[in-house]
Amino acid sequence: MTASLATYGRHGRELLATVVGTRTGRLPTDLALIAARTALAWIFIYHGSGKLFGWFNGAGLHRTAVYFANTAHLHPGEFFAVLGGVTEFGGGIALALGLASRLAGVALFGDMVMAMITVSWANGINSETPTPGYELNMALGVLALVIAFFGAGRFSLDALVERRVAAKDPSPAPDVRPQ
């Protein structure tokens, strides 16, 4: 490997460093967070509005409540239908705006864990029946957890609020490094 790197010189080392590098710049990180937030927002707004309002050929609140009570064994079904719909619809809007994104990410992760536990876990990761497995719930939940850990990024209302709060606080941040 060293001989081939020497052959290609500086450009070979730069290419290798780019391919295997673990440090990501601010702009690529922010763009990746926008992409994740946008995809999650659309998916969760779509499903949450279907649960709450029957939009996009969704079941609506009553049929969702019946489904939650009978299939997912969540009682009272009405409460869990509203909880799931508000979590998905409201969490999707929060992610789209980048407002309270960490909280929305945690809530949506919990929503997907509940979906796996109550409905799709019994079908396996990739069901061969019309009833879906838990692979989509797992992917969406983990992606929501990424937003919970990393936040919304610089291009969000969270970042705007953070900048405004920092601008109004004249005291420097305390030094919390260990002595």
| 71-108 pLDDT per residue, tens | 999 999 999 999 999 999 999 999 999 999 999 999 99
Q: What is the pLDDT of residue 158?
A: 97
Distance CA 20, CA 156 (A): 29
Answer yes or no: is pLDDT of 62 > 90: yes
Q: What is the pLDDT of residue 173?
A: 61
Answer yes or no: is pLDDT of 37 > 80: yes
Q: What is the pLDDT of residue 23?
A: 85
Distance CA 133, CA 44 (A): 18
The runs of H, that is alpha helices, within the chain are: 2-20, 26-53, 60-70, 77-97, 101-115, 135-150, 157-168
Distance CA 104, CA 126 (A): 27
Both tokens of 8, joined, read 């290609």
